[in-house]
Amino acid sequence: MDLLNKKLRIAVDSGMVLLLPLLMAYSLVGETAHEYLGIGMSLLFVAHHILNVAWWKHLLRGKYTPLRILGTAIDLALVVIMLALPISGMILSRYVFRFLHLGGAATARTVHLLASYWGLVLMSFHAGMHGNRIMEVFRKITTTQQTSKIRTWSLRMIIVLLAICGLYTYIKNKIGLYLFLRTQFVFVDFSQPVVWSLIDYLLVSILFIVLGYVCTYLICLKHIHKYNH
């Protein structure tokens, strides 16, 4: 049962990660599709928290280590973001929720932009923080118990190269401008094929997944070093 729960968690989380680039490239996939994908993302987020209800039960229990403080802060920020996105999305909706006739479109547009890009960053970082746990479950699912040094290092090199490409994409697409609201207008290159836009956002996501994994590793390493001394 526990393994089934873990499989469901990975399926839900993988679905959210795959939806991220599709949602970010909304101008290219179309507004109607964007709204339905947004509903899908919101449902997956609710499913994620149902499957992880134990996290809420233990939120105020136990010792808060530096890693737990970081993880909890990111998780709570994501809850705020994932509430802000559908609410602002319904206000901006031109298709699915247009019958609501809600006001405040200007504010909603700013909130939606800010929450979208921080959602991309923090959701990816969150996934990276649980990298070891995900790989452990993946090995159980695929019944791959033996590790190969060649396979391990090859995979690491590929991930590092993808993260470097993600950093280049982050700079090229000026993602920082949107994260800190230096501009409220997203530049969209309509001459670029949709698939390349999706790859761009996927690479940025991989960059922050790697940063989340590395950050977790360094905090754990520091904790072990402190404990041994």
d(CA 200, CA 208): 13
What's the domain count of the chain? 1
CA distances from 226 to 40, 87, 132, 216 (A): 44, 44, 22, 15
pLDDT in tens, the chain (229 residues): 566 777 788 888 888 888 988 999 887 788 899 999 999 999 999 999 999 888 898 898 988 999 999 999 999 999 999 999 999 999 999 999 989 888 899 999 999 999 999 999 999 999 899 877 666 655 555 555 556 778 778 888 999 999 999 999 999 999 999 999 998 888 777 778 888 989 999 999 999 999 999 999 999 887 665 555 4
Domain residues for the domain of 136 are: 2-228
d(CA 40, CA 227): 44
